[in-house]
Structure 1
Amino acid sequence: MKPLVEFCASNASSYTQSVIEALEQDPDLDVDVVEYGCLGHCGECYMGPYALVNGDFVSAATAEELLEKIKAKIREDEEAFGKDFPF
């Protein structure tokens, strides 16, 4: 199963749209990218960019840093659980 990266629509409009596009267009990544109306992290949503990666909260000061943290989290999960782990 592919890693899952979830975004909040409100956060995307403010911070993470470029991250969503980068993940969807990266030929080296095979991930499912999903955008929801709300992920239930409303306080964090207005503070800065964030996403849920395989259900784990990942945040950063900038969109560029968030993209790198998402990629690192995906690599970490694949190393710990293998690529076939049901995320």
Structure 2
Amino acid sequence: MKVRLCNKSPKGKNRFARELKEKIPGIDVKVRGCLKQCGTCRERPFALLDGHRVISAETWEELGQRLAAYQDEA
């Protein structure tokens, strides 16, 4: 599973990326440049999953839970 985070996202993205790597084995997490999701990026934490699916949440913690659930489904 590839997860990309926008470097313009709210504070906490780097810590979130490190925590995801620890919690979900085999995950490929990187903080990249602008992911062209500016509306979502300004409002809340989000991740681009496998290059095409946008997953967002109110907090980084909630986003982590959503990504973990998606990993479990795969």
The structure whose Rg is larger is: 1
Tell me the residue number matched to 1:72: 69
Write 1 or 2 for the structure with the bigger share of helix.
1
Identity of aligned residues (%): 30
Aligned positions, number? 73
Task: Kindly report the root-mean-square deviation, in angstroms, between the aligned alpha carbons of the 2 structures.
Answer: 1.5
Distance 1:53 1:71 in 2: 12
Map Cα deviations across residues 5-44 of structure 1 (whole Å, 9 max, x no partner). Answer: 1100011x52433321111222x52111121111100111
TM-score after normalising by structure 2: 0.85
Residue segments in structure 2 that go unaligned for 5+ positions in a row:
none
SS in 1 for 2:11: helix
TM-score (norm 1): 0.74
The ranges of structure 1 where at least 4 consecutive aligned residues each deviate by more than 4 angstroms after the TM superposition are none
